Structure 1
Amino acid sequence: ENICEDIAGILHQLNISRCFVLGYSMGGRVATAFAATFPKRVRGLILVSSSPGLEQADIRESRVAADNRLADWIEEEGLVPFVDYWENLALFASQKVLSPEMKRRIRSERLSQNSHGLAM
C-alpha cells in the first residue's frame, strides 16, 4: 500500500493524471497492486515475468524460507559467487550468445551491486 501511495504521490507531483504502468518481476506485483488501487490513474498495464503472488500460505512460507537462505548465502559468500550462480541460471541462458563485450558490461553492472543490498 505504501508503494502504491508513493507512486500516486509522484504522479501527482508530476501532474500526470493517467499513465501506462510497466512492471517486471516483483515490480509487476507492484504495478498490479497500483492498477487495482488506483484504476482511474492507469491507462494500461504491462507485466513482464510477473504474477499476483503465491496464493497458498505454505507455498509462500516455503518461498520466504528459500529467499532468506539465498540472502544469507549472498552475505556469507559475497557478490562474486552470487553473480557466478545468477549468471548460470536457466533464466539467463539466452545471454550466452551475447557478444563478449556485452557479457562483460552486464557482468560489470551486476558486480557493481552491494551484497547487503541484494540480500535485503
Structure 2
Amino acid sequence: MLDKPTGDDLLLAVLHFLRNEAMPLLDGAAAFKVRVAANALELVHREIKGAGDVEAAEAERLTALLNQNGTIDELNRVLCEAIRSGRMDLSTPGLPEHLWQTTLDKIAIEQPTYATYRSLMVQEKDEVQP
C-alpha cells in the first residue's frame, strides 16, 4: 500500500490551489489557462473515481448484448461492426438502453454540469422516489 497522501489527494490539493489561490490572483489569458487546467484536473479526478465502475457496467452490458466475452475495446469493435453491417439496429433488444446508459455514464464523467444531463438526472431521481 502506498503512503499518504494518495495520488488522488495530491490531485485535489493542486485543484484546490488552482481554483482558490492562483485563479483569484490572475486575469485575462492566465486566468483562462488556469481555469482550463483546473477543469482538466477535475475530469481526471472524476475518471479516477468513477471510470472503473462505468467500464465494468459497460462491459457487462456489451457481453450480454453481444453474447460474447472480450475487452471493452474488442466488444465495442464487434458492436460497431454489427451496427455497420445492419445485423443490429435500434430495434435490437437492449441496444437502445445500452447506448443511452453508455452516453449518460460518459457525460457523468466528462461533463457532469451539462444542463441537459443535469435535468435528466433530476427527472430520473423524481421518477424513482415515491
Greater per-residue strand proportion: 1
Output the TM-score relative to the length of structure 1: 0.27
Decide which structure has the larger Cα Rg and report it.
2
Output the TM-score relative to the length of structure 2: 0.25
Greater per-residue helix proportion: 2
